[in-house]
Amino acid sequence: MHVTHLECAKCGTNYEANKIYNLCTSCGKPLLVRYDLAKAAETLTKESLKHRVSSLWRYREVLPVVHDENIVSLGEGWTPLLHAKRLGAQVELPHLFIKDESPNPTGSFKARGQTTAISMAKELGVTKLAIPTAGNAGGAMSAYAAAAGIPAFVFMPRDTPAANRIECQQLGAEVTLIDGLITDCGAEVGKRKEAEGWFDVSTLKEPYRIEGKKTMGYELAEQFNWALPDVILYPTGGGTGLVGMWKAFDEMEAMGWIGHQRPRMFSVQAAGCAPIVRAFDNGWDEAPEFENAHTSASGLRVPKAIGDFIMLDILRTSGGGAISVTDEEMIADTKVVGAAEGLFCAPEGAACFSALKKMLAASTVSAQDRIVLFNTGTGVKYLEAYSL
């Protein structure tokens, strides 16, 4: 709403606001939306939030859509922050919380990114949308594209969970199954998009999905009464949520809502696909493609993330880290979390609890820490991962 320009996250090149962009034309890296935060803060205040809609659009002044009539919303955001008392008691962590994204439309946090991306696509006159997806992003894009009246083309690995495939089809998208990984789906979109007239809404390959994802950071601050948690564990595939929350923290500080303190950010990945963990452990600034990537947590099966350099910088700057867990660990911990808190989380969400236990064993966290685990979606989407 108060966008001033777009800025390359790598080389700093500036771009005019309210134009159609994918990546930086100078270096091929992601673009970030910048705002006149002083202007935004004139009406977006802690007091005004007490009377606003219970969706992510409560933060309207720091979201990119200019005209309200172009907002495509299905009621996303303002998800529960659960005090996981029973689960915390099991591991002697009294200040353990779960940010539960499963109540979002289409059952995952992907709705946050798609509401802003599709709203901007509508505002900028995009006529066709295409996305490579590991599952949930495709479902969310299909839903918001349908609500906007824009044709959607979804490319997903052939072994994507059935719930995701069926969801996209029933929402009217044209679904193409690819023998390979999400990177192979992305290559197919890249090869065909110009001839087909598609706008590519891949993770961090357009500037606006991150704007919806960043609202998780705004919500955390508001739900914790403007005192950020000490530790955040976030399941990381493409990493838009991790990057988005960090952006939100900087914006809130600029508006005077919070101080300099930041949570220690931890990326959680599957052992079978852990490019960020490997890069972090080796001190690399970028994360090369992870060969032979495999995991039943389809949202974590992203062997190469274009925002790798941003994520690695956030992890190091915050004093955090990166941890991998096995599929067996996250599947087992799905039941642990569920039995303790009544929450059937996605394997990606359970992976955060698996990682937390490893951090406890290594004394990386303590009982005094206020810790947030992110459950990014509902376990109902992953029934194939569980033996009945």
Domain ranges of the chain: 81-108+209-385
Higher local confidence (pLDDT), 203 or 315:
315
Residues 135-176: tens digit of each pLDDT: 899 999 999 999 999 999 999 999 898 999 999 999 999 999
Q: What is the mean pLDDT of the chain?
A: 96
Confidence grade of residue 388 (pLDDT, cut at 50, 70, 90)? low
Q: Rounded CA gap, 133 and 340, in Å?
A: 31
Considering the entire predicted model, what is its pTM?
Answer: 0.95
Mean pLDDT, residues 239-251 taken together: 97
Q: Rounded CA gap, 315 and 321, in Å?
A: 5
Give the helix ranges, DSSP H, for the chain.
Answer: 37-43, 46-49, 85-90, 110-123, 136-148, 162-170, 182-196, 209-213, 215-223, 240-254, 275-282, 308-317, 327-341, 347-361
Query: Structurally, what CATH architecture does the domain formed by 81-108+209-385 represent?
Result: 3-Layer(aba) Sandwich (3.40)
